[in-house]
A and B are shown apart, each in its own frame.
Chain A
């Protein structure tokens, strides 16, 4: 027992047969029905990893994400974040500080009316001394390349900029891990690129563990590991290359693959001798050139 515990601590996140039920009540407050949103999920995320979670709507990926930040606690099973059990109420704020969360709608998560005030909101709540707050605000705005907008009102920023401010707000809390719940779903292609670039920089430069929930396949190809969820269960796990070489299985979970991968797959089906799991356009071009 003691041994497994030691092992847990080396993982940033470890889920053990995690399950969560949404309970619906009728007018009299009796349980009407329970919906099992997450159903016996086990996985682990190592420190410094970039993990992507894929799944179509209603697959339970957002519910899972909320567990990592202890916004929800498991109905069954356990989840450790940075060695802390998220069901442990005494450690609640430690869990939330170690695992920051960025949500889908940038407007609904910005609290301050000036960019720098919003970034300072998290550290203020944690009781960080004033001078250090300013230092952290500056550092985190720099990390997402938004320092020159520090005095702006968030209402006048573009979606991608707002989302980067939201990320800075989480970074200022010095988390070990950031969970991003479809951060690019409401953005245009440019904003999406900006945000993904910022997330990758945080992962590579600051060595923050990143858990990215998305349904844009192009964002997944940079991940170290991909989890595919369907109907509350983790149905596939592996590197992007491993996952995307199984085009047909992905389709059965109502998921797409990156365009280049799809094209390569179709070409292969048509008889060309291409390798499995081509992810980017460059790779496809290279593989095609090698053929002739």
Chain B
């Protein structure tokens, strides 16, 4: 259950999407998300679907890898679906169960909301799957660079993010290990109702936190030992530079957004 999160997990492959400048991919993800929320009606979703699946094909990331990330939002998805389905007032009532009713509008919103959420997760996992965390934070650092003038600690934040991303799989592994150790001594994580299960996670969190702090202290020392002293005077192993494919990608993105907007306005 715990290894299913793909967010922040780089999938090494050799594709155009992998080679794109991280800034393009970041902007692209943001534009895609904005696009998703601009969509009204089936035509827009069709365009988004084609666009997203084309990207998945290009990325050479196996489909099951991308879908795996969805399992973790399943509950959120279900809640949104149910709430939208039953609580949206509409003109025509399709089904009526006691006081709850499903209207045509409710059905519509529910389906669109679900698609939106699913695409949102797929879109952002696609970015993290094709971009190494270091590239990602490099991209963020450059994109947010102008904020440095406002004394926003851009470098520090991006360093923290890349470290957080790097430690996600390690901490997950650790959680797994602690869980197994506690299960071996009779702890039960799988039975009981939601509250009981949530309660059983508390003894898991304490050792996890302790170990995370210990790791953090070790890592800080290792970074200092390797002459880390903040962003100043630091050179880049992979300095960011736009290539032709990046401009092309920007073109495609703008085209995508333009089509979405056009569909919204025209239809």
Contacts and interface: CB of A to CB of B under 8 A. Distances in A.
Interface in A136-172: 137, 151-153, 155, 169-170
B235 A128 contact: yes
A111 B224 CA distance: 11
Contact of B227 (A96, A107, A130, A137): A96
A194 interface: no
Contacts of B228: 121, 125
Contact of A113 (B10, B238, B239): B10
Nearest to B134: A117
A186 B257 CA distance: 52
B227 A97 contact: yes
Interface stretch (A30-38, A98-106, A211-219, A242-250): A98-106
Contacts of A253: none
Nearest to A137: B237
Contacts of A124: 234-237
Contact of B237 (A69, A134, A152): A134
A286 B215 CA distance: 47
A22 interface: no
A120 interface: yes
A108 B218 contact: yes
Nearest to B227: A125
Nearest to A99: B225
B222 A111 contact: yes
B99 interface: no
Interface in A65-93: 66, 69, 71, 93
Interface stretch (B29-37, B165-173, B196-204, B243-251): B165-173
A237 B186 CA distance: 50
A109 B12 contact: no
A155 B169 contact: yes
B10 A127 contact: no
B237 A123 contact: yes
A173 B132 CA distance: 23
Interface in A156-213: 169-170, 173
B229 A113 contact: no
Interface string B124-165: 000000001110000000000000000000000000001101
A114 B238 CA distance: 12
Nearest to B239: A130
B79 interface: no
B187 interface: no
Contacts of A123: 235, 237
A113 B166 contact: yes
B229 A125 contact: yes
Contact of A117 (B215, B223, B237): B237
Contacts of B12: 151-153
Contacts of B225: 69, 71, 96, 100-101, 103
B59 to A, nearest CB: 17
B211 to A, nearest CB: 10
Nearest to A69: B225
Nearest to A104: B218
A125 B226 contact: yes
Contacts of A113: 10, 132-134, 162, 165-166
A122 B227 contact: yes
Given A126-B227, A127-B233, A103 B134 contact: no
B219 interface: yes
Most buried by A among B166, B219, B228: B166
Contacts of A128: 235
A109 B235 contact: no
Nearest to B215: A108
B209 to A, nearest CB: 16
Interface of A: 66, 69, 71, 93, 96-97, 100-101, 103, 105, 107-114, 116-117, 120-130, 133-134, 137, 151-153, 155, 169-170, 173
11 contacts: A96-B226, A101-B225, A108-B219, A111-B222, A111-B226, A113-B133, A116-B237, A117-B238, A125-B226, A125-B228, A133-B237
Going nearest first, the 9 A-B pairs with the smallest beta carbon separation are: A109-B222, A108-B218, A120-B237, A101-B225, A125-B227, A122-B226, A113-B133, A133-B237, A113-B166
Given A113-B165, A125-B227, A133-B237, 18 more contacts: A71-B221, A93-B227, A100-B226, A103-B222, A107-B170, A108-B219, A110-B166, A111-B163, A111-B222, A113-B10, A114-B132, A123-B235, A123-B237, A124-B237, A125-B229, A153-B10, A153-B12, A173-B226
